[in-house]
Amino acid sequence: MSWYEMAEEREEALIEDLSGLLRIDSVYDPDTSGPGQPMGQGVAEALQYMLDLCAAEGFRVRNLDGYVGYAEFGPESAEKYVAVLSHLDVVPASGKWTTPPFEPSVRGGKIFARGAEDDKGPAMAAFYGLKIVKDMGLPLKHRIRLIFGTDEERTGKCMQKYNELEPAPICGFTPDADFPIVRAEKGQINTRLLFKPIEESDSSGYEYRLRLFTAGEVANSVPEGARAEVAGDAGSLSAMQKAYEDYCASEGLKGSFEIDADGQTASLSLTGKTAHGMEPQLGINAGLKLIHFLKEFSFPSSAEHYLHTVDALMYGDIHGRAFGIAMEDQITGPLTVNTGLLQYDPEGESYFHINLRYPVCGNQADILESIGVRASACGLEIEPPSLKHPHCVPDDHPMIEALQRVYEAETGQPAELLSTGGGTYAAYIANGVAFGPVFPGMANSAHQRNEHIDIDALIRSTAIYARAMHELANLNL
């Protein structure tokens, strides 16, 4: 019996177990954070769900204080182990979904739910892949360890904790990107650029006042929605409304402009298109689009400074040219910048967040220096950034060669080596790559409304992961 046939036999059970996992809202929740559940109750439930499945299968399991858990199979006496790293936390389910995001729905051969593709579906495929390896009873030289993280979408604290407490694997992969093999990842810089308070001497000479501006829910997604509250007299607001309707029509955008009963305040909203922060070119940043409109109007100096600065630094520029940091290489492509969180609050903080991904050729210190120079010239302060260095595994590493053999044998297609702007768990281990679940030619729905995964592709991935784990667990490393 082939690897694929063994995966196919388990399809019904896999979908049932996956549906149970997808029903758990595992978005980071600081309100329910506590001992044993540092990322909140929902994330803790998802971790326990997977560990319970693994324990029932007879795998050796361990929960590391709720930060991360793992399940292991193979000879306990083996000194070395191979890792398969997935994550159980998900990004918020914003926007209008066809079916509720945490009520999995099967339609047209796909299963729809938040986390179906990123990364609960692949995590379940890896679990069933290890079940197949166990059921076959084939000899293994090394242990195989499934690692389940809980904070991949934010800070990666889960894998930081893991690396503090556990020895490193000899190699491994994460099912959290594309097939065939993603052997290189861009570096990342995440930080907020803060606006210093400006004391307004007199705002009576301006037509409008910006009471609030906000866009985005998470830093690593293109904001789908943006909202602004603008004050002015009835005539001014009426003129802005007409201009806004014309702007939305000319840009092909959906927006609303509602004037309050007092006739002195308007609420503007704009809908763009979300996308993963590593591919801002695939989205429409509602925040930047709304700022680009508002900057044409007369506001007090604090609001004008915010609108004009953000527009000059970010609008229509996803490659960092305004910061003087545009670059690219042949391995990982061009530098990209996404601003996923924007806020103007005259009574509180005003800022925009940058989620920057730079190629292997980039120097982190030089990029930060260039950003600092431009930010200082604009009167901005930079928060201490969260940093991730680029990651690249040599083409001739035995793991790469083994995964290429597996992929080509199971698909009949060449196993080309890829790179990504995304940050995956592969970068947390020396010899780590991303391996699926998105096959060539298939759309990636991660972080988007109506996220889904193709069931046939999920079963194919399960077979590939089973065979890959068996191959890697018998390498001479």
* 181 found inside a domain: yes
pLDDT band at 201 (very low <50, low <70, confident <90, very high): low
pLDDT band at 411 (very low <50, low <70, confident <90, very high): very high
Average pLDDT over every residue of 207-213: 95
Average pLDDT over every residue of 430-456: 94
Q: How far apart are CA 465 and CA 7, in angstroms?
A: 10
Q: Domain range holding 50?
A: 3-186+390-472
Are 80 and 158 within one domain?
Answer: yes
Structure tokens at 241: 């409304």
Which residues, 6+ apart, have CB-to-CB distance to 316 below 8 Å? none
Say whether pLDDT at 202 is over 60.
no
Of the three residues 343, 366, 388, the one that is the final residue of a domain is: 388
Average pLDDT over every residue of 311-332: 96
pLDDT of amino acid 200? 66
Q: How far apart are CA 388 and CA 431, in angstroms?
A: 16
pLDDT of amino acid 19? 98
* 131 found inside a domain: yes
Task: Quote the percentage of the chain above a pLDDT of 90.
Answer: 90
Structure tokens at 376: 């200082």
Are 94 and 208 within one domain?
Answer: no
Are 437 and 366 within one domain?
Answer: no
Are 222 and 204 within one domain?
Answer: yes
Are 378 and 417 within one domain?
Answer: no
Are 150 and 215 within one domain?
Answer: no
Per-residue pLDDT tens for 35-57? 999 999 999 999 999 999 999 99
String of DSSP letters for 150-162:
S-TTTT-HHHHHH
Average pLDDT score, the chain: 95
Are 321 and 463 within one domain?
Answer: no
Find the helix or strand (DSSP H, E) in which 78 lies. none
Secondary structure of residue 62 in the 3-state scheme: strand
Per-residue pLDDT tens for 131-177? 999 999 989 999 999 999 999 998 889 999 999 999 999 999 999 99
Task: Count how many domains the chain has.
Answer: 2
- Tell me which amino acid residue 205 is: G
Are 293 and 354 within one domain?
Answer: yes
Say whether pLDDT at 382 is over 70.
yes
* 343 found inside a domain: yes
Active site members: 89, 152
pLDDT of amino acid 417? 95
Q: How far apart are CA 342 and CA 62, in angstroms?
A: 39
pLDDT band at 306 (very low <50, low <70, confident <90, very high): very high
pTM, entire model: 0.76
Are 257 and 178 within one domain?
Answer: no
Are 431 and 328 within one domain?
Answer: no
In angstroms, how far is the first alpha carbon of the chain from the final one?
A: 29
Average pLDDT over every residue of 319-333: 95
Are 91 and 16 within one domain?
Answer: yes
Q: How far apart are CA 250 and CA 242, in angstroms?
A: 12
pLDDT of amino acid 197? 84
Average pLDDT over every residue of 71-76: 97
* 152 found inside a domain: yes
Structure tokens at 32: 């329910």
Q: What's the DSSP call for residue 384? A: P
Secondary structure of residue 359 in the 3-state scheme: coil
CA dihedral over 453, 458, 461, 466, signed as positive or negative = positive
* 75 found inside a domain: yes
Of the three residues 368, 388, 408, the one that is the final residue of a domain is: 388
pLDDT of amino acid 381? 96
Average pLDDT over every residue of 189-193: 96
Are 415 and 314 within one domain?
Answer: no
CA dihedral over 100, 106, 112, 117, signed as positive or negative = positive
Q: How far apart are CA 218 and CA 338, in angstroms?
A: 11
Say whether pLDDT at 128 is over 90.
yes
pLDDT of amino acid 262? 86
pLDDT band at 21 (very low <50, low <70, confident <90, very high): very high
> Phi and psi of 134, rounded to 5°?
-65, -45
Residue 411's CATH number? 3.40.630.10
Per-residue pLDDT tens for 264-289? 999 999 999 999 899 999 999 999 99
pLDDT of amino acid 158? 96
Q: Which CA distances in Å does 283 have to 196, 205, 276, 339, 415?
A: 30, 37, 8, 12, 29
Structure tokens at 346: 């005259």
* 444 found inside a domain: yes
Q: Which residue has the higher pLDDT, 202 or 115?
A: 115
Which residues, 6+ apart, have CB-to-CB distance to 159 below 8 Å? 68, 85, 149, 152, 425, 428
Residue 362's CATH number? 3.30.70.360
pLDDT band at 184 (very low <50, low <70, confident <90, very high): very high
SS (H, E, C) 178-221: ECCEEEEECEEEEEEEEECCCCCCCCCCCCCEEEEEEECCCCCE
Say whether pLDDT at 433 is over 80.
yes
* 477 found inside a domain: no
* 443 found inside a domain: yes
Secondary structure of residue 404 in the 3-state scheme: helix
Of the three residues 366, 388, 410, the one that is the final residue of a domain is: 388
Per-residue pLDDT tens for 387-406? 989 999 999 999 999 999 99
String of DSSP letters for 94-144:
-S--SS-TTS-EEETTEEESTTTTTTHHHHHHHHHHHHHHHHHT---SSEE
